[in-house]
Structure 1
């Protein structure tokens, strides 16, 4: 793999940054691998400016390699990008490297710089400055609300099992919405008995569920608007819809050009086949890497298409007659779906890139 710094003369440097919540630690390394200096700065705009000015003292800065550009390093990556600096996303060091060299913030920052120098770190971080970032925020709020709604219902039904008999006999076996309405209308009165405290707790849980349900519907409406605005052809594709489209867009980011090919997208989604051949055996196995939420979204779309999409139904029948298992067929369909989605995403970015 070629490094962005290959054959550069001395006098040019790269900066590695170990990011944290309150303090970032940076190390400057020249193009022949010599560490030139270390600094720690605060995680605000003043600290980012201080880091940039400090790094410029050592020569021409060719790039910043930063860990955690999607979390603690998001603010730094955004600031550097807006000020014309090249930012490279660096993975956490391998455990074997940490056992050999030890663990500290300057060591991690130096490892980040050396990963850029060696060309092992080349990924462009997501810009997180457009509609897709708005989708990500909304989806996080929606997903947590869905979990809370489910937890409220599970807790409500579990509590009914242990309440006094006269109350349990009234509530057991009721349909979900009837149960919520019945519990929400309970009148506990003064909490002076076990029965009263049970009614109060059941009423609290039951009234929480509709509030969360309304919140989820509000998030769904906004997600539908944002995803349709960002990628209408992706939302309209068979079996995808707004929720799965949102998952795809969040992984791709506001700058999808950073994903260089459909094979790279398939690897990111964990749907590219992995060679598992040995001797006379020539086969591939399921890829268990990649972004698991995106992989799960592709799986849901494939399952829908296998049931209701005629081309997918015909494909399943043909591959089954060839001796393929259901798991192998799903793997193949996920790979085809990844190619289809990448073409949609690529088509969306072509006009902007040609301009």
Structure 2
């Protein structure tokens, strides 16, 4: 199609390409309609939407309070705090009164969003717990992060090893070496939602005296910049998440029905904190035919 000079991407061309892959490629995995994951996706998307609404409303409220109160309000502002501040304002002109009324409406909207977010968190927490995942045991991953990992990753065994998983989620560094200078840069590719989960996980670990914080500090001491140290930390956390999900899949296979397979993973990560190692490899090379990650047989 492209050799003829047409170069057009159409639905018919896409369908033809997919048909070729489906009929000629070996080892393809069938699509499974997992109703539990579908439900989890609806809830986690809803929770994200509520968070975005909250951020937007707080931003609008800050703008109004800045015009109503000298100096405005503090950055981390709750609905109750905003209501208390607004109670001290008594504008006399029509513009000021309108600002105060709109601010009061925004505060009411914030209270409703907060209640809905709290209910969504509770429902999400219960549904994540029902999946049997242990992702929440990892420092820095909550119900929303665990749910996002489950719905985006699906079957973790589709990744042959941790390097492929890191390449998929965008934490594998890209080789940017030139001449004798050997360096890597941050990848902007990959699944950005999972990359965000790992970024939040790294940020949470940096706030406490965790091994993640110690790992970050060691990278800084070795001469890396803060951005490079954060990239290295996220790459290590990707390995940890991969190992945890493989362990969960193995446990589920051992206790559930169906056939069982052996496991061949190359991850050496055994805890929720990063350790020094050789995990900072860049993107894996060209794909070669190889068996997918399999699960351990039940004893």
Give the TM-score of the pair, scaled to structure 1. 0.59
Tell me the residue number matched to 1:180: 83
Q: How far, CA to CA, are the matches of 1:249 and 1:105 in structure 2?
A: 30
Tell me the residue number matched to 1:42: none
Contact 1:180–1:207 (CA<8 Å) still a contact in 2?
no
Residue 258 (1) aligns with residue 164 (2): no
Tell me the residue number matched to 1:134: 39
Q: How far, CA to CA, are the matches of 1:212 and 1:284 in structure 2?
A: 42
Residue 104 (1) aligns with residue 10 (2): yes
Contact 1:319–1:329 (CA<8 Å) still a contact in 2?
yes
Structure-2 change in CA distance of 1:305 and 1:183 (3 Å): closer
Structure-2 change in CA distance of 1:201 and 1:316 (3 Å): closer
Structure-2 change in CA distance of 1:100 and 1:222 (3 Å): same
Structure-2 change in CA distance of 1:203 and 1:116 (3 Å): same
Task: Identify which of 228, 240, 247 aligns with 1:340.
Answer: 240
Q: What displacement does 1:229 show? A: 2.8
Tell me the residue number matched to 2:189: 289
Structure-2 change in CA distance of 1:117 and 1:200 (3 Å): same
Relative contact order higher in (CA < 8 Å, ≥ 6 apart) = 2
Structure-2 change in CA distance of 1:128 and 1:263 (3 Å): farther
Task: Identify which of 56, 61, 69 aligns with 1:151.
Answer: 56
Alignment of 1:292-303 (within 5 A): 292-303=192-203
* 1:290 partner SS: coil
Structure-2 change in CA distance of 1:278 and 1:158 (3 Å): closer
Q: What displacement does 1:178 show? A: 3.4
Q: What displacement does 1:216 show? A: 0.4
Task: Identify which of 242, 247, 250 aligns with 2:148.
Answer: 247
Contact 2:133–2:248 (CA<8 Å) still a contact in 1?
no
Q: What displacement does 1:218 show? A: 0.7
Residue 312 (1) aligns with residue 212 (2): yes
Q: How far, CA to CA, are the matches of 1:219 and 1:97 in structure 2?
A: 52
* 2:6 partner SS: helix
Tell me the residue number matched to 2:171: 271
Structure-2 change in CA distance of 1:150 and 1:278 (3 Å): closer
Q: What displacement does 1:290 show? A: 0.6
Q: How far, CA to CA, are the matches of 1:298 and 1:311 in structure 2?
A: 15
Q: How far, CA to CA, are the matches of 1:198 and 1:321 in structure 2?
A: 51
Q: How far, CA to CA, are the matches of 2:4 and 2:202 in structure 1?
A: 40
Contact 1:116–1:122 (CA<8 Å) still a contact in 2?
no
Q: How far, CA to CA, are the matches of 2:3 and 2:108 in structure 1?
A: 53
Contact 2:66–2:73 (CA<8 Å) still a contact in 1?
no
Q: What displacement does 1:135 show? A: 2.0
Tell me the residue number matched to 1:223: 124
Q: What displacement does 1:117 show? A: 5.7
Task: Identify which of 203, 208, 223 aligns with 2:109.
Answer: 208
Higher strand share: 1
Tell me the residue number matched to 2:222: 322
Residue 114 (1) aligns with residue 20 (2): yes
Structure-2 change in CA distance of 1:227 and 1:107 (3 Å): same
- Give the number of aligned pairs: 249
Structure-2 change in CA distance of 1:342 and 1:161 (3 Å): closer
RMSD: 3.6
Structure-2 change in CA distance of 1:337 and 1:179 (3 Å): closer
Q: What displacement does 1:245 show? A: 1.7
Q: Deviations over 1:112-162 (max 9, x none)?
A: 32355675x987576352433222111111111122122223223434566
